[in-house]
């Protein structure tokens, strides 16, 4: 298979009106990645050497999105909506380059996997001209049926056209297929539009190929592979299936999920063996976690790197650029953004660390914040190895705390602190004996007078 060239043609021109959205349907996301990008990933995993995406509605927005998730992919515009075969032919220029295999897929079937595509490609390698991907269901109502005879696929029959015997067929059309590149354009050009809608249907190539003496076969995939998304409810269903697959994969790879159904991964989450994830944790894009980490409940992590044996949460938020080194700790109700927390350092609770470095073994007290933004620009805070920052301190960047530096609790630090120095940055306390009692009596008397006056008014 690796010696055969392959083009994936992904149809993504539909308007998706049932999504009720200004965003093109195939750009709605599953696990943080547009649906159509999931399809591209599956095609590439199945050995596609080139990708052609047929677009229409929101063409410019589609081009920009495609450039981000698949820079090598070409886009082709289907100017008119004249059916699926017509849509495939919008990519005629790419198809004509002489690929061994052509995979035809849909941008709104994000759960298709590489194994299903590889099986269809294998049938081409064995000599078939067309391999149609199907699925079996106990309730085939509404689906096109795959009609087979003698091990060959002879027709794809829409339900309204099925005989009573054909309606009992449980093998249904998933819509996707593999076509031998040597025959693709000849078969597509032979598709006519003599039907009720006057459209050119891709499914017609099955009977066309058979009439030309070419082999046509069907391969079987799971129903999930064929799940198309037309509205927000189906989008949520697909998200749930994707997450279930990913959780299973993680657990089989040595990750402990204490309540799997409450953990949400992104398409690119990397998580090492012996990591423990407690309930209600959300991983956004760009998260990499080495083995042996512990992620406590209700943590929200995105764009972060977490080294081995780190401890995060509960209720922690790691934003893009958070980089936790070996055995670092970011505890409850802490937020870290664009900052390195070096080996063994502790940011235990109620703290914000942004645009900063926390040196190895340093301890950051509760309520500490790095004041990194002046309303116009971001500035850096450097906290040295072994430093101790007392609770409720504000470090006003740009500023550095030297190795072994000690910041007294409640300080506002505006100047850099040398190694091993002690810094106070707070007003001097003044204590006046008896003044507390005097204030209480004054306030109580004023309150009584106010209450009496209100009563008199009523």
* DSSP string across 322-340: -EE-TT-EEEET-EEEEEE
Mean pLDDT over 213-231 rounds to 95
Q: Flag whether 261 is marked binding.
A: no
Q: Flag whether 230 is marked binding.
A: yes
Does residue 221 carry a pLDDT above 70? yes
Q: Flag whether 319 is marked binding.
A: yes
Confidence of residue 375 (pLDDT cuts 50, 70, 90): very high
CB 45 within 8 A of CB 39: no
Mean pLDDT over 205-226 rounds to 95
Query: What was the pLDDT predicted at 1?
Result: 59
Does residue 141 carry a pLDDT above 90? no
What integer best gives the mean pLDDT of the chain? 95
- The strand ranges marked E within 38-151 are 50-55, 74-77, 101-106, 130-136, 145-149
Pairing of strands 346-349, 363-364: parallel
Mean pLDDT over 317-338 rounds to 98
The length of the chain is 458
Annotated catalytic residue 349:
yes
Query: What was the pLDDT predicted at 175?
Result: 92
Confidence of residue 432 (pLDDT cuts 50, 70, 90): very high
Q: Flag whether 252 is marked binding.
A: no
Query: What was the pLDDT predicted at 57?
Result: 81
Q: Where are the alpha helices (DSSP H) in 152-220?
A: 164-167, 181-189, 205-211
Query: What was the pLDDT predicted at 383?
Result: 98
Please tell me what DSSP assigns to residue 259: S
pLDDT digits (tens, 9 = 90+) for 236-258: 999 999 999 999 999 999 999 99
Q: Flag whether 78 is marked binding.
A: yes
Catalytic-labelled residue, pool 28, 38, 349, 458: 349
Does residue 6 carry a pLDDT above 80? yes
Distance CA 212, CA 456 (A): 104
Query: What was the pLDDT predicted at 450?
Result: 87
Residue predicted with more confidence, 192 or 160:
192
Q: Flag whether 275 is marked binding.
A: no
Does residue 316 carry a pLDDT above 70? yes
Query: What was the pLDDT predicted at 458?
Result: 64
Mean pLDDT over 391-401 rounds to 97
Q: Flag whether 108 is marked binding.
A: yes
Q: Flag whether 309 is marked binding.
A: no
Query: Which residues neighbour 94 within 8 Å (Cβ) at sequence distance 6 or greater?
Result: 7, 9, 50, 52, 74, 76
Confidence of residue 313 (pLDDT cuts 50, 70, 90): very high
Q: Flag whether 272 is marked binding.
A: no
Q: Flag whether 14 is marked binding.
A: yes
Query: What was the pLDDT predicted at 359?
Result: 98
Query: What was the pLDDT predicted at 49?
Result: 94
Confidence of residue 16 (pLDDT cuts 50, 70, 90): confident
Query: What are φ and ψ of residue 349, in 5° steps?
Result: -165, 145
Does residue 453 carry a pLDDT above 90? no
- H helix count then E strand count, the chain: 10, 35
Distance CA 117, CA 44 (A): 10
Query: What was the pLDDT predicted at 426?
Result: 86
Using DSSP, state whether 394 is helix, strand or coil.
strand
Mean pLDDT over 346-362 rounds to 98
């Amino acid at each position: 298979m690796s010696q055969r060239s392959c083009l994936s043609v992904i149809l993504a021109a539909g308007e998706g009106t049932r999504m009720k959205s200004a965003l093109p349907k195939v750009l709605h996301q599953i696990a943080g990645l547009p649906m159509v990008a999931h399809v591209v990933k599956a095609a590439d995993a199945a050995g596609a050497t080139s990708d052609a995406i047929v677009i229409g509605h929101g063409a410019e927005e589609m081009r920009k999105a495609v450039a981000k998730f698949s820079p090598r992919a070409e886009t082709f515009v289907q100017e008119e909506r004249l059916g699926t075969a017509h849509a495939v032919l919008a990519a005629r220029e790419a198809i004509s380059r002489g690929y061994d295999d052509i995979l035809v897929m849909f941008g709104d079937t994000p759960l298709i996997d590489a194994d299903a595509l590889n099986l269809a490609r294998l049938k081409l390698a064995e000599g078939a001209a067309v391999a149609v991907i199907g699925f079996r269901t106990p309730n085939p109502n509404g689906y096109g049926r795959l009609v087979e005879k003698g091990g060959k696929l002879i027709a794809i029959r829409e339900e309204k056209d099925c005989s009573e015997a054909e309606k009992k067929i449980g093998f249904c059309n998933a819509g996707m297929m593999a076509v031998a590149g040597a025959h693709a354009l000849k078969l597509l050009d032979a598709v006519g539009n003599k039907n009720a809608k006057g459209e050119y249907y891709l499914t017609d190539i099955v009977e066309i190929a058979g009439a030309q003496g070419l082999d046509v076969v069907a391969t079987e995939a799971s129903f999930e592979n064929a799940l198309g998304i037309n509205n927000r409810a189906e989008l949520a269903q697909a998200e749930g299936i994707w997450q279930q697959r990913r959780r299973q994969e993680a657990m089989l790879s040595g990750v402990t999920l204490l309540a799997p159904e409450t953990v949400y991964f992104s398409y690119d989450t990397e998580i090492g063996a012996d990591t423990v994830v407690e309930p209600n944790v959300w991983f956004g894009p760009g998260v990499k976690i080495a083995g042996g980490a512990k992620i406590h409940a209700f943590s929200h992590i995105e764009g972060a790197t977490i080294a081995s044996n780190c401890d995060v949460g509960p209720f922690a938020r790691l934003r893009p650029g958070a980089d936790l080194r070996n055995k670092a700790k970011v505890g409850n109700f802490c937020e870290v953004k664009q900052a390195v927390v070096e080996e063994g350092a502790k940011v235990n609770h109620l703290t914000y660390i942004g645009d900063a470095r926390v040196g190895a073994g340093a301890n950051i007290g509760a309520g500490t914040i790095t004041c990194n933004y002046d309303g116009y620009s971001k500035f850096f805070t450097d906290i040295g190895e072994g430093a101790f920052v007392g609770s409720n301190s504000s470090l006003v960047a740009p500023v550095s705390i030297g190795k072994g530096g000690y910041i007294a609790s409640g300080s506002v630090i505006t100047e850099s602190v040398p190694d091993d120095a002690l810094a106070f940055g707070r007003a001097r306390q003044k204590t006046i004996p008896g003044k507390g009692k005097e204030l209480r009596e004054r306030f109580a008397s004023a309150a009584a007078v106010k209450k009496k006056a209100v009563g008199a008014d009523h």
